[in-house]
Amino acid sequence: MRRLKAQDHPEAASCSSLRFQDRCAILELRSNDQTNRLTRSCVLELIKAVEHLAVGPLPASLTLTGNQQFFSAGADLNEILELRGAAAFEFARLGQRLMSALEAFPVPTFAAIRGYCMGGGLDVALACRFRFAAPNAVFGHRGAALGLITGWGGTQRLNWLVGRSQALQMFTAADKLSAPEALRIGLITKMCEDPMTVAVEAARQIADAGRGLSLITNLEK
């Protein structure tokens, strides 16, 4: 099989970087201020990157990650405040398209999380099959404190993952959760010092196991 190269998938450019490790695609969120906010242009770029990866050459897995302090701070609030009517609806649909592309991705998807994973950033993590987080990870949907609620599917996915009561608490009280608390309620799959290394190793094990059904079941326990 031909070795995968980043240039096979040129869409990842300004708000993300794409690289491959052991046939595992790693899509790293990035921004000049290091908060990795999901602006409209960034969401469009990520949609193109994920959809292009999905049609081949197909990697063994896809992992999304950020930097040491931020997975993603979520949508750009200044940009959101300027949205009205059709533009607001379009932005919601773009976010839904990104989350759906991640959720339907044909190989295992991982979120390797360090630092803050907030708002739309949490929506991205929820759309991945597995979430591995460092001890310094912080999770939350703080929109309620600003009179906002996510339109990117997080209200449904969080409910499915942690249950209605805990999801309501996170959304309505705008609570922030530490990594140990997120692990306790089932928001993350594992807590580990180096989530990227663990994600790549888990992807390798799944690939080595063929269809990997038994390993996937064990990871989700």
Alpha helices in 55-178 (DSSP H): 77-81, 85-103, 120-127, 154-162, 164-172
Give domain status of residue 1, yes or no. no
Question: Taking all residues of the chain, what is their mean pLDDT, rounded to a whole number?
Answer: 86
Into how many domains does the chain fold?
1
What domain range is 133 assigned to?
Answer: 6-219
Distance CA 125, CA 44 (A): 17
Give domain status of residue 11, yes or no. yes
Between 183 and 155, the higher pLDDT residue: 183
- Check which CATH number belongs to the domain holding 198 and give it: 3.90.226.10
Give domain status of residue 186, yes or no. yes
Give yes or no for residue 187 having a pLDDT over 70: yes
126-140, 144-158, 173-187 — which one is most confidently predicted on average?
Answer: 126-140
Residue 180, preceding bond cis, omega within 30 degrees?
A: no
Positive or negative: CA dihedral 174, 182, 118, 33:
positive
Distance CA 212, CA 46 (A): 27
> pTM of the entire structure?
0.85
What pLDDT does 210 receive? Answer: 62
What pLDDT does 84 receive? Answer: 84
Give domain status of residue 62, yes or no. yes
Predicted confidence (pLDDT) per residue in 46-96, tens digit: 999 999 999 978 899 999 999 999 999 998 888 888 878 898 889 889 999
